[in-house]
């Protein structure tokens, strides 16, 4: 018997050794193919890029995986406790594998064998890190063994806190959220340190299967799983029984955070920043790099700009009548469902969609588009309202088959089923006014002239309707708003504001083509000073001035100011018939406001990488001594501005003073009502296709245009002074409120002399037609009367021949600018 026992023992030992050897060989084979766990030390997951306004307000987030990486020290203990209770309560005690949990799982799986139930796992947090970072999700024993081996190795190489940090920042929570910080924002719009016990427990329940515990599709199952996690937290001693019971009594409270743009009215600005980041660093940096971008946008100025521009577009549009409903739906049944499917304008929250339920001679009965609940379902309640005849007065002139028709009753304009935009009347519960999206569009830019920082940008009426940015992408003729560039070139090259030029008929002959430019009003004023020419925006004077200087000089200045990259040297271009953008024009005027120094328009102040290191800074000024270790009675450090001097500072003041005259008594006189020191210039392109105004104070430059996307006439008499200048005025009235009325600074050495505004000569004492004019040293009023552009025989002068390219320029916009 002893021999038999010894025999079997020997056989058993041999088999055990063979099995052990086989396992060793198998495991050795598996370990040869194991990934390098040391890559965890250099782990850089895709992280959300965040864009902020100048005051820190969040503008937008961009990510393929919405994740904000948090060090373990920044994650609250109750959040860590929730995840350990849900996934691995012995995390801080086991060596990577929880033997107790593994044994329990084996017993349960044996009991459930053949029952069809899903096998339970016993993966620790360390094993999940190994799987998520280094392995696939294949449900095989081979992968499980590799996972265990890696878990042991990871535990030996990294601290428990580091492993938990990797886990909490990597896991997927559903709704596109990765990592606990991203999940807290996505599900509850909170930072992790604001999460309650119930909220932390719900997030801890999601990694097992986010869709299984969807807060809206499977709310009961989600609450059940969350409450189980809370019970585990109580059992493990992380919260008291009372705290647990209170947490379990709470609803899920999920409030999904919307994606994309967050700062109201900043969509055009945000999109322009997005394009610039991609152009500078590429798409991967934007969507995975975790950049922190601080922009130049001033949210308060942006709101003012949006309101002024929208009001101006709406005022113009409503004067031209009503073009009809958005669409038509069936209202015989539940009108809320088809109305809910119509897309509105989410960035114009003052408006809402409505459907006409009844129309009569007195007005409309309307049904308001139902709101959507957090779950995405339409609110079941149906709200009705009214639109009186007076509140849709502009629509009495409406279009039928392309023709304008005058209606006597609202019933002639709209019928039941028509879907319309309405805006609730102030102080009323159910009274609304009819609205329509304007056809006319425009762009606006507000800029700090000393730094080039873009403070506000409006790219159109609604970004939701059209993402095309008319402030930076629309190429438009600037018309007479280009004239200050021409006059600056003249003042920089021997002319003075008192130089007299003939404002009279002129004809340019080129082969069989004849160009006869005209002033906007069709009249000629005769000899007048440069100041008078720009104040009254005289085309004939500008053409003669350009002809006298030569177009090559104007081309040089236009390109120096950044208005154009390559301007054709043809006389019609002096009247602004070349195409450029609002951004470029505002940048050019900023040079004048900045004493002639160049500026670089900027939408971004600073960009930091995921570690907080500054990788881009717009301000390139040097500052020696700014980072001194200590103060030793040294003078205060000064920022050194190395900007190029594009224009003589005295010339910059002269042209600014002349454009102050535009506002005080010229084509922009409506702005004088503000009682501010403002310089500016109107612009109206050929056939009234675009209306411009660009103006500035010593510290703020604002430019805008109004026009149809497919250029067509705005109507007879539509000018920059009548359409664009009022928008500028509305903006400045609010933007400058509460700020000092700062005057433009006269450069040292400049002479101020009283002249006769008609002759340009020194004014006699008591002359009622006197104006104070600025002259550079060595210059002054003429001693004798001299008119530039008048022939020796007293004729109005003539021009030379033009090239075929110039003929085309003439046809594209040669005359009639204002």
Closest to 613 (Cα-Cα) out of 255, 291, 387: 291
What is the DSSP pairing of strand 431-435 with strand 418-424?
A: antiparallel
Closest to 209 (Cα-Cα) out of 178, 254, 174, 233: 174
Backbone angles phi, psi at 454, to 5 degrees: -80, 115
DSSP letter at 328 equals E
This prediction has a pTM of: 0.87
Residues 6+ apart with CB under 8 A from 452: 587, 590, 599, 600, 601, 602, 618
| Active-site residue, from 205, 261, 433, 480 | 480
* Cα(685)–Cα(577) distance, integer angstroms: 7
Q: Contact 291/609 with Cβ under 8 angstroms?
A: yes
Q: Contact 731/305 with Cβ under 8 angstroms?
A: yes
Tokens of 445: 């830019």
Tokens of 433: 């006014």
Closest to 222 (Cα-Cα) out of 246, 245, 201, 197: 201
How many secondary structure helices (H) and strands (E) does the chain include? 22, 27
Which pLDDT score, from 0 to 100, does residue 98 have? 74
- Count how many Cα atoms sit within 13 Å of the Cα of residue 248 in the half-sphere of its side chain: 17
Which pLDDT score, from 0 to 100, does residue 806 have? 44
The full length of the chain comes to: 818
> With 90 as the cut, is the pLDDT of residue 151 above it?
no
Q: Which residues pair with 700 in a beta bridge?
A: 697
What is the DSSP pairing of strand 397-400 with strand 454-458?
A: unpaired
Which pLDDT score, from 0 to 100, does residue 667 have? 95
Tokens of 174: 């559903």
* Cα(651)–Cα(750) distance, integer angstroms: 10
**pLDDT, tens digit, 9 for 90 and up, residues 701-744:** 999 999 999 999 999 989 999 999 999 999 999 999 999 999 99
Name which residue leads in pLDDT, 343 or 259: 343
Helices (H), 236-292: 241-248, 267-281, 283-288
Q: Contact 460/468 with Cβ under 8 angstroms?
A: yes
Q: Contact 752/759 with Cβ under 8 angstroms?
A: no
> With 80 as the cut, is the pLDDT of residue 526 above it?
yes
* Cα(197)–Cα(818) distance, integer angstroms: 67
3-state secondary structure of 560: helix
What distance, in Å, lies between the first and last C-alpha atoms of the chain? 122
**Averaged pLDDT, 769-789:** 91
Which pLDDT score, from 0 to 100, does residue 814 have? 42
DSSP letter at 453 equals B
Which pLDDT score, from 0 to 100, does residue 799 have? 39
- Count how many Cα atoms sit within 13 Å of the Cα of residue 716 in the half-sphere of its side chain: 1
Tokens of 329: 């739906």
**pLDDT, tens digit, 9 for 90 and up, residues 617-627:** 998 777 777 77
Q: Which residues pair with 448 in a beta bridge?
A: none
Would residue 87 show up in a list of annotated catalytic residues for this protein?
A: yes
| Active-site residue, from 61, 85, 87, 587 | 87
**pLDDT, tens digit, 9 for 90 and up, residues 453-510:** 999 999 999 999 999 999 999 999 999 999 999 999 999 999 999 999 999 999 887 6
* Cα(24)–Cα(77) distance, integer angstroms: 41
Residues 6+ apart with CB under 8 A from 105: 120, 121, 122
Which pLDDT score, from 0 to 100, does residue 4 have? 66
Q: Contact 610/69 with Cβ under 8 angstroms?
A: yes
Would residue 480 show up in a list of annotated catalytic residues for this protein?
A: yes
Tokens of 179: 């990592």
* Cα(467)–Cα(475) distance, integer angstroms: 15
Which pLDDT score, from 0 to 100, does residue 809 have? 46
* Cα(708)–Cα(314) distance, integer angstroms: 13
The torsion defined by the Cα of 222, 224, 230 and 231, in degrees rounded to 10, comes to: -160
Helices (H), 189-218: 197-205
Please state which of the ranges 26-35, 186-195, 595-604, 672-681 shows the lowest mean pLDDT.
26-35
Q: Return mean pLDDT, the chain.
A: 88
Q: Contact 27/39 with Cβ under 8 angstroms?
A: no
Residues of the chain with pLDDT > 90, as a percent, come to: 70
Q: Contact 236/81 with Cβ under 8 angstroms?
A: yes
């Amino acid at each position: 018997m002893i021999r038999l026992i010894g025999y079997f023992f020997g056989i058993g030992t041999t088999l055990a050794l063979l099995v052990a050897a086989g396992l060793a060989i198998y495991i050795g084979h598996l370990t040869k193919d194991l990934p390098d766990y040391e890559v965890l030390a250099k782990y850089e997951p895709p992280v959300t890029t965040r864009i902020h306004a100048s005051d820190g307000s969040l503008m937008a987030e961009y990510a393929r995986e919405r994740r904000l990486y948090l060090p373990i020290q920044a994650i609250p203990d109750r959040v860590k406790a929730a995840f350990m209770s849900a996934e691995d309560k012995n995390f801080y005690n086991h060596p990577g594998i929880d033997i107790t949990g593994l044994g329990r799982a084996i017993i349960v799986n044996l009991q459930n064998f053949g029952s069809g139930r899903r096998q339970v796992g016993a993966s620790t947090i360390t094993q999940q890190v190994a799987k998520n970072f280094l392995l696939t999700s294949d449900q095989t024993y081979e992968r499980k063994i590799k996972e265990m081996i890696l878990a042991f190795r990871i535990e030996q190489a990294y601290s428990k806190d580091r492993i938990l940090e990797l886990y909490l920042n990597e896991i997927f929570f559903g709704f596109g959220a990765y990592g606990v910080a991203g999940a807290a924002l996505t599900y509850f719009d909170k930072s992790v340190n604001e999460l309650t016990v119930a909220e932390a427990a719900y997030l801890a329940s999601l990694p097992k299967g986010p869709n299984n515990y969807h807060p809206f599709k499977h709310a009961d199952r989600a609450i059940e799983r969350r409450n189980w996690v809370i019970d585990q937290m109580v059992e493990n001693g992380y919260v008291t029984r009372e705290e647990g019971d209170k947490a379990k009594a709470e609803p899920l409270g999920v409030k999904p955070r919307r994606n994309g743009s967050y700062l109201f009215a900043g969509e055009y600005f945000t999109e322009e920043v997005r394009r610039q980041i991609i152009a500078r660093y590429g798409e991967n940096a934007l969507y995975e790099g975790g950049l922190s971008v601080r922009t130049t946008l001033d949210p308060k100025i942006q709101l003012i700009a949006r309101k002024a521009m929208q009001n101006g577009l709406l005022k113009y549009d409503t004067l031209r009548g009503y073009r009809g409903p958005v669409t038509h739906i069936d209202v015989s049944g539940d009108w809320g469902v088809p109305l809910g499917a119509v897309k509105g304008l989410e960035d114009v929250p003052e408006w809402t969609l409505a459907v006409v339920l009844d129309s009569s001679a007195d007005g409309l009965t309307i049904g308001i588009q139902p709101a959507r609940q957090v779950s995405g379902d339409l609110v079941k309640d149906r709200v009705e309202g009214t639109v009186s005849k007076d509140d849709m007065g502009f629509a009495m002139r409406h279009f039928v088959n392309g023709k304008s028709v005058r209606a006597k009753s609202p019933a002639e304009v709209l019928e039941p089923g028509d879907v319309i935009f309405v805006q609730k009347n102030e102080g009323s519960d159910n009274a609304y006014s009819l609205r329509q999206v304007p056809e006319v569009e425009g762009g606006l830019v507000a800029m700090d002239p000393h730094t080039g920082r873009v403070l506000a940008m409006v790219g159109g009426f609604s970004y939701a309707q059209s993402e095309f940015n008319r402030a930076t992408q629309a190429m438009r003729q600037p018309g007479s708003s280009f004239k200050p560039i021409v006059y600056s070139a003249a003042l920089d090259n021997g002319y003075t504001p008192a130089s007299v030029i003939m404002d009279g008929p002129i004809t340019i002959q080129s082969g069989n083509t004849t160009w006869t430019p005209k002033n906007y009003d069709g009249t000629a004023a005769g000899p007048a000073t440069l100041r008078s020419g720009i104040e009254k925006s005289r085309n004939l004077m500008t053409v003669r001035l350009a002809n006298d200087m030569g177009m090559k000089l104007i081309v040089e200045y236009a390109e120096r100011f950044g208005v154009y990259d390559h301007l054709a040297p043809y006389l019609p271009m002096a009247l602004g018939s070349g195409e450029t953008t609002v951004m470029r024009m505002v940048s050019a005027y900023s040079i004048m406001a900045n004493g002639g120094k160049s500026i670089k328009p900027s939408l971004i102040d600073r960009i930091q990488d995921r570690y907080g290191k500054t990788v881009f800074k717009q301000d390139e000024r040097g500052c020696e001594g700014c980072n001194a270790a200590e103060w030793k009675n040294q003078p205060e450090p000064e920022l050194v501005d190395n900007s190029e001097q594009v224009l003589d500072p005295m010339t910059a003041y002269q042209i600014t003073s002349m454009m102050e005259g535009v506002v005080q008594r010229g084509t922009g006189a409506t702005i004088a009502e503000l009682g501010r020191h403002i310089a500016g210039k109107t612009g109206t392109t050929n056939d009234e296709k675009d209306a411009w105004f660009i103006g500035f104070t010593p510290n703020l430059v604002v430019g805008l245009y109004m026009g149809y996307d497919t250029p067509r006439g705005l109507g007879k008499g539509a000018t920059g002074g009548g359409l664009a200048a009022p928008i500028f005025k509305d903006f400045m009235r609010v933007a400058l409120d509460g700020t000092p009325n700062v005057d433009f600074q006269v450069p040292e050495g400049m002479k101020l002399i009283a002249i006769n505004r008609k002759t340009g000569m020194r004014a006699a004492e008591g002359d009622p037609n006197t104006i104070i004019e600025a002259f550079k040293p060595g210059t002054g009023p003429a001693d004798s009367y001299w008119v530039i552009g008048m022939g020796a025989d007293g004729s109005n002068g003539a021009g030379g021949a033009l090239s075929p390219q110039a003929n085309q320029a003439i046809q594209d916009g040669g005359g009639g600018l204002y």
